[in-house]
Amino acid sequence: MTKFVAGPCVIESAELLDCVAERLVQINNKLGVDIIFKASFDKANRTSLTSYRCVGLDKGLQMLSDVKQKWGLKLCTDIHEAWQAAPAGEVIDVIQIPAFLCRQTDLLVAAAKTERIVNIKKAQFLSGEDMCYPYEKAVRSGAKEVWLTERGNMYGYNNLVVDFRNIADMLKISPTVVMDCTHSVQRPGAAGGKTGGNREFVPAMAEAAKAFGANGFFFEVHPEHDAALSDGPNMLCLDELESVVAKLL
């Protein structure tokens, strides 16, 4: 079954979480899918020290737990340090490992020990074939299910490029390979101390990934993406999500 993960980049407010969650429930009911709700409680890898970091672990997990209880959605969030894994695992269904940190052994081991699904994003400096090693670390540490996610490779200054062959290569390692359709259109650091992006390419990224065999799709969405506190330039508008998911189905 095709996996879908969507939500705002960061927790901005309870009102935003409810707005997005309500829409995801509507799409799930209409299209017969099971979109997992994603939002971050911290963004430890922002471009600038002045960038919005978010609400922190304790408050963030409580707000995400409220979403699960109110809307019945499964949850995904990312962790940056090994000590965050255990408390996150009490609430979160899919623990995500950020791309820059996918080789951090202690982080992978801690995530695996939660017995939750572990989604490892491929680093911008690694090939798809290289992801066999992070995958092995998680599996040998007890993870029952491990996903791998493609999100592009660094290319020149402030640019990413997606080599879709990585999807086929990672499918030889993991049965679930996710395309990060929004982070892959980022232009890192290209907006004056912030990350820029080309959101108009998001639907095409998804369709191209499907052609290469991707069986999971990740979208950061926001009802007002130009006002988002993180990753606005590469986000998909919340109102566009249903049509993109429907086309992938």
Cα–Cα distances (Å) from 127 to 85, 108, 121, 154, 166, in that order, read 26, 18, 12, 11, 7
Domains of the chain (ranges, CATH numbers): 3-248 (3.20.20.70)
Q: Which residue has the tokens 């990934």?
A: 209
Contacts of residue 106, defined as CB under 8 A and 6 or more positions apart, other chains included, come to: 82
pLDDT at residue 190, rounded to an integer: 47
pLDDT at residue 147, rounded to an integer: 98
> What span, in angstroms and rounded, lies between the C-alpha atoms of 150 and 197?
17
What's this model's pTM, rounded to 2 decimal places?
0.92
65: exposed, middle or buried (Cβ count in 10 Å: 0-12, 13-18, 19+)? middle
Query: pLDDT of the chain along its 249 residues, tens only?
Result: 899 999 999 999 999 999 999 999 999 999 999 999 999 998 776 566 666 566 889 999 999 999 999 999 999 999 999 999 999 999 999 999 999 999 999 999 999 999 999 999 999 999 999 999 999 999 999 999 999 999 999 877 778 899 999 999 999 999 999 999 998 887 765 455 556 677 799 999 999 999 999 999 999 999 998 887 867 678 899 999 999 999 999
